[in-house]
Structure 1
Amino acid sequence: MLEHLQIVDLVIIGIGLTFAYIIFGITGFGTALIASPLLAFFIPVDKIVPLLALLDCSAAIANVARDRKQANMGEIKRLVPLMILGSLLGAGILLYTNPDKLLIYLAIFVILYALYSLSGFKPVAEYSAKASVPFGFIGGIFSALFGSGGFIYAIYLSGRIPDKNGIRVTQSTLIGLSTFTRIVIFFIAGVYTDWSFLSMALVLFPAMIIGVFIGRRITLALSRESFLKIINIIILISGLALLSRTFL
């Protein structure tokens, strides 16, 4: 991949990825929403997910490393088994049915939720621990189907964890576990035997690190209300992106 790109191309990709990972540094998710459309102009579409898996896993580690003690392990222990079960079901749906019909329902739900949260008509909802069952399971399903489960976990965590940094670190931990699973699958499938993936990831690694660092600094300066507003804006954009995908 790298040998087919010009210096100008790499600069454009680097700037775009820096912005994408600023969003990741703030929210703990959302990279693919920004990075995938940009990368599609420069590299084959089937190479984007494996490449972002390497960078996202590294970003999650960078996001969690300094603040790992603020991760809510109780929520992680609730969500991860459900995420795995949902991922298995999602993989089955992907292999044996047409999942595109489900995408529009998810998109509509996400858009309505984000608009409701941004409207100011209510305070932030507080979910019970039992809410981890639908959110964890459905998040796993749609992560496997569309690679778009991060905002579902964000909806749940923002209604469970009072501290904005706790939300960010817990979200990053979940994304790290999810992307690590994808890396293992791609590795077993032999995708990473192509050294172009590793060389491309290494070249783009500084953009990821800079973005995560800036995003973390922004988060520390935000109030919880501003942080949740950013989360809901990203969720809204995610829903609109999913909805547009159903018509492409």
Structure 2
Amino acid sequence: MLDHAYLALSTIGIDIASIAVSGVIVALAYLVYGMTGFGSSIVAIPMLTQLIPLKTATPIMLILDLMAGLLVGIRNLKDVQIGELRKIGPWLCIGLVLGVTVLVSAPEKPLELILGVCLLVYSTWRIMSSGEFRALGAGWALPLGLGGGCLTAVFGTGGPVYTIYLAGRLRDADQRRATVSTLITATAVARLFLFSASGLYKNPVVLPLAGWLLPCGALGLAAGALLRSRVPAARVSTLLWAVLILAGANLIVRSSIGMLA
């Protein structure tokens, strides 16, 4: 599987070292997911796009998120809050359709610039905030559902948006984690259909590389589950947002240079 991924990636200038580094990135991303219940794609995508194209990284992370969401969500079905899923679900579906349309049709560098700006703004806000989410009314399902759906389809990074909504609606941490994980799984299934219909999985790189990265993600997920009760969540979050500020700034610079070149 790794040989197939290497042969396919070599045609677009990606070497074996980059594939190995991608495995480390994915393991770290799912370590965060295992500890927090979200964050895999928002950690992995900005760093993976330093190595592979965005339109390759996004469908790969979709496969990995689908598997991780099934593992986490199935264990905690009793805590899933169906009522909140019904509120945000329709708006999220509309956002997914809009986002896939943008991903398929838009040039790569402007998308990377948008991702960098979103990461920089959101991560700076999170690291400067108190860490507590305010209570939100059900009306927030519309803007956060649309925005989260678009970000999920294009970048696979809608998890923090769902978390803002669900953290403002659910006070119980177990209910919040299970509902976020279920929402990630549901959006992954929807994106799998939309990505397949749009031809993103015709890319010969995607499936072989996803097969190589899958055990890396499983290892990180298991490590995160073990560390969840041993490492303070606040410390993990602060480190996460600091890393994403750097990743966002780097994406802005790199994509701006690419657009001007």
Scaled by the length of structure 1, what TM-score is found?
0.76
Residue 158 (structure 1) aligns with: 167
1:146-203 deviations in whole A, cap 9, x for unaligned? 4432211112222222222322221122222222222212222344355653333222
Question: How many correspondences in the alignment?
Answer: 242
Gaps of 5+ in 2: 10-14, 256-261
Q: CA RMSD in A?
A: 3.6
Report the equivalent of 2:218: 209
CA deviations over 1:220-248 (Å, ceiling 9, x no partner): 456xxx43664566456546644654443
1:126 aligns with 2:130: no
**1:46-105, CA deviations, whole angstroms, 9 ceiling, x for partnerless residues?**
321111111111111112121222222222111111111233445567769x88897787
1:12-51 aligned within 5 A: 12-40=21-49, 42-51=51-60
Q: Distance in 1 between matches of 2:166 and 2:250?
A: 26
> Is the contact made by 1:110 and 1:236 (CA closer than 8 Å) also made in structure 2?
no
Tell me which residue corresponds to 1:110.
122
Where does residue 199 of structure 1 map in the other structure? 208
Does residue 135 of the first structure (1) align with residue 144 of the second (2)?
A: yes
* Matching residue's letter, 1:2: A
Residue 177 of structure 1 corresponds to 186
Gaps of 5+ in 1: none
Q: 1:7 to 1:210 in 2, by over 3 A?
A: same
Contact 2:46 2:251 in 1 (8 A): no
Identity %: 27
Alpha carbons of 1:37 and 1:73: their partners in 2 closer, same or farther (altered >3 Å)? same
Contact 2:100 2:194 in 1 (8 A): no
Q: Indicate if the aligned counterparts of 1:107 and 1:240 stay in contact, CA closer than 8 A.
A: no
Match of 1:2 in 2: 5
1:223-242 matched pairs, under 5 angstroms: 226-227=232-233, 230-231=236-237, 234=240, 238=244, 241-242=247-248
Instruction: Name the CA shift for 1:166/1:64 in 2 (closer, same or farther; >3 Å).
Output: same
Aligned mates of 1:169, 1:72 — CA distance in 2? 8
Change (3 A) 1:103 1:212: closer
Alpha-carbon distance in structure 1 between the residues aligned to 2:204 and 2:48: 18
Partner of 2:135, secondary structure, is coil
